[in-house]
Amino acid sequence: MPSEADAPLIKISCVSKYFDSFQALKSVSLDIGLGERVVVCGPSGSGKSTLIRCINRLEKYEDGEITVDGVVLSDARESLDKIRSSVGMVFQQFNLFPHLSVLDNLTLGPRRVYGLSDQQAKHRAMTYLERVRIPDQADKLPRQLSGGQQQRVAIARSLCMEPRILLFDEPTSALDPEMITEVLDVMTELAETGMTMVVVTHEMGFARRVADRMVFMDQGEIVEIATPEKFFTAPDSKRSQDFLKKILNH
Amino acid sequence: MIRLIASGALVLTLSGCSGNWGWYVVNPSTPAGWTNLQFMATGAYYTLLLSVTAIVISVVAGLLIALPGLSDKPVLRAINRVYVETVRAVPILVLILWVYYGLPTLTGLTLSVFWAGVIALALSDSAFQAEIFRAGIQSIDKGQYEASHSISLNYRDTMRYVILPQAIRRILPALGNQLVYMLKMSSLVSVIGMQELTRRANELVVTEYRPLEIYTILVLEYLVLILIVSAGVRWLERRMKAAET
């Protein structure tokens, strides 16, 4: 029996999810430990985004169970409070609040959810803006920033809630190539601080550098779980090999 | 401004074309004309008070009615639909009469002419406001809800700090239109005796027998009022746009 401390932070057991008659997840199981960095990859429509959206209940699932930090996800208040306070998410389209300044984007959650004073929230926001290296943009509106800067603000906004787990849903897919690096650098630094991260991405260089484990999905199933070294050099399944051939050959 | 001068010029031209005008009835240089003019113009106070009170109430009511319409619970959506469809189907004039003469009998409350007018106008407008809010809120990208969810905001805070501030900016032109519409519809409250612009004009016509001049003044009164309000709404829109950049 594993002790309490060894129990996985996120435990996904046999989760199935349907969009009408289309089955997006087919009995998916995955455990993620504290401090682990997991990169999820796979062809589009493979269910990778859906999977991580299930972890913070942006998607509901018909079958199976997910526990986060020992609490089973459900619509119960206790469960919602738990995921909300421990799981953060960074989106492909940033989803910053366009009518609020960068600073207000960051302080809104801490003020309303944790009841921080304006001063405390601002202090916390500036700490994380420095972490993502854009403290000088605090008073601007999101649309006055470049895509890369916006995504870094979005990461800082998530960090302001001080989550235990950070989910990334294709965080660089909407960025111009020259801005991808600055976002990946911030994510790499974050990984070095010991944050538990689940990242859906096509950035294989980043995956190779940062991931503890690679999860390869196809057609709603987890096909292969391996260390990056193994996954990129000698993947077991035919489907992984085909996928890697396609994305690494351009 | 140009439109204002043009409309004034139009009236002067019209009066020049025909011999049947009798402007003395509202001629500000004669004591009687000045009194009449004052009597008419002061009705604007009630027209404005009525319209603005009604629109404030109907905006709040419209928002409260729009929210269940956006729910994923069919029962709540049905309540929204029934309200909107029912209220929209009743002519405003009928609603005014019903609220003033019918509602007191039903509830035992006595309503002043002013509040009966406000309630009827607000009730009628609330259905339209609800539809405007619903469209405005629906136009906000679902990523905004997801981001709010991901930073743990509850429904109320999500609406208050994220969705509504953006939705209201988008629907502001439509709200401006509703205010203009309300200013015009408030003339119907004259039938229950509200001393607003239209009622005052009617009373003056009865004593002076000069409908052409008096109603022409009435038209101009509404025109000026609405042009001012429209300009105000446009100014507000520009200011909000400027604040964004």
Give the global pTM: 0.84
First to last CA, chain A: 46
Q: Do B151 and A96 touch (CB under 8 A)?
A: no
* Max Cα distance, chain A (Å): 55
Q: Do B162 and A97 touch (CB under 8 A)?
A: yes
Q: B151-166, pLDDT tens digit by residue?
A: 999 999 999 999 999 9
Report which of A39, A36, A220 is spatially closest to residue A239, judged by C-alpha positions. A220
Answer yes or no: is pLDDT of B198 > 70: yes
Residue of B nearest to A114 (CA): B152
pLDDT recorded at residue B13? 64
CB-nearest to A95 from B144, B169, B244 is: B144
Q: B214-231, pLDDT tens digit by residue?
A: 999 999 999 999 999 999
Q: Does B162 touch chain A (CB under 8 A)?
A: yes
Judge if ipTM > 0.90: yes
For chain A positions 117-156, those within 8 Å of chain B (CB to CB) are 141, 154
pLDDT recorded at residue B9? 65
Contact B221, B197 (CB under 8 A): yes
Q: Do A113 and B152 touch (CB under 8 A)?
A: yes
Quote the mean pLDDT of chain B.
90
- B-chain residues within 8 Å CB-CB of A75? none
- A-chain residues within 8 Å CB-CB of B142? none
pLDDT mean by block of 10 residues, chain A; 250 residues: 64 93 92 95 93 92 91 84 86 96 96 95 96 94 95 97 95 93 95 95 94 95 94 92 84
Mutation for testing the A interface, residue in B72, B140, B151 having most A CBs under 10 Å: B151
Question: Where residue B3 falls among pLDDT bands split at 50, 70, 90?
Answer: low
For chain B positions 111-130, those within 8 Å of chain A (CB to CB) are none
pLDDT recorded at residue A80? 80
Q: B27-75, pLDDT tens digit by residue?
A: 888 898 899 999 999 999 999 999 999 999 999 999 999 999 998 899 9
